[in-house]
Chains A and B, each alone.
Chain A
């Protein structure tokens, strides 16, 4: 019991500084946390797919919220284009297959190639990417907070949109990629060509939405982000609690000691906690 109290309570046997807060134990926490990351990384490399990432995002929700944002700006809603949805899906599948996360692939393939390959002739086009988001609300919030992504969503010249929500393994971790392809077809110049008719005949928003939102695979039992948060939260909880106990007892006993400032440490860790709580989830590109 006495040994345990030395970990958390400042006393003579620990030089009036809780052992948890001393460099030796702090180093142990750093090593433990890094070890946890290494195990997660190794697991994803040795057994890809064992770590899951479940998402509630659907094409319907993304389309609905995108058009809601346009409605706020008094812009006409975007029509769902099956051709653009196909190009968005091709882009997502290419990112999984070639293992990259960018607008342009490592081999130099731009988003426009996927749009053109799908048979969509455009006068203007754009692309928004996102990954690792749990829900559509957070995803849309992140896009709307980024000037370049927002510009795509509320661009007055875009008339159509294609969306793909695709699950796969990227960098060894199972994730959900969301791709938005925006475009305005070259209607005037090609309206009477067979190609354009084919495009128009395949424009079945609802059917496409349904096919795009086929049930996602069942959530995996292990979520690497959740594991990181649990381990990080556990370490954070132990340290911050010990800091408060250590500071309270030291102040109460008016102990003179040569250690770091408890107020400084608490302030720094409080900032870290605030940033974790307020920061958005996922990544956009």
Chain B
């Protein structure tokens, strides 16, 4: 495990931050599945997860000291693409 982590220095340097991201994504999955028959609530879960992912990026890059408009735009567009792909495919 330690050897595996050595290949990912970012994970080694910021384990708490990546654990937080893992928790956000897992919560998104759990809530989405728990609202199996409620498309409106599932849609809200998708929005909330994407927003949390963007907020996580603010926190993560602020801590790393490399927060920039370009990085923010990158996360924002990833979140937007995720929402579009999911909502247009499922709802």
Chain B residues positioned under 8 Å from A239 (CB to CB): 81
Q: What residue of chain A has the Cβ atom nearest to residue B65's Cβ?
A: A258
Could you count the A-B residue pairs with CB atoms below 8 Å apart for me: how many are there?
115
Chain B residues positioned under 8 Å from A275 (CB to CB): 28-29, 32, 46, 86, 90
Q: How many residues of B contact A (CB 8 A)?
A: 45
User: B67 to chain A: closest CB distance in Å?
Assistant: 9
Mask for A268-281, Cβ within 8 A of B = 1, else 0? 11111011101110
| Residue among B38, B66, B68, B77 with most chain A CB within 10 A | B77
A228 near B88: Cβ-Cβ < 8 Å? yes
B25 near A267: Cβ-Cβ < 8 Å? yes
| CA distance in complex: A163, B42 (Å) | 28
Interface of A is mostly: helix
B56 near A264: Cβ-Cβ < 8 Å? yes
Given known A33-B81, A259-B71, A263-B10, contact A232–B88 (CB-CB < 8 A): yes
Chain B residues positioned under 8 Å from A34 (CB to CB): 84
Q: Which of A53-61, A142-150, A152-160, A211-219 contacts B (4 or more CB under 8 A)?
A: A142-150
Given known A142-B37, A271-B25, contact A23–B74 (CB-CB < 8 A): yes
Question: Residues of A with Cβ closer than 8 Å to B?
Answer: 21-23, 26-27, 29-30, 33-34, 37, 142-143, 145-146, 149, 225, 228-229, 232, 235-236, 239, 251, 258-261, 263-265, 267-272, 274-276, 278-280, 283-284
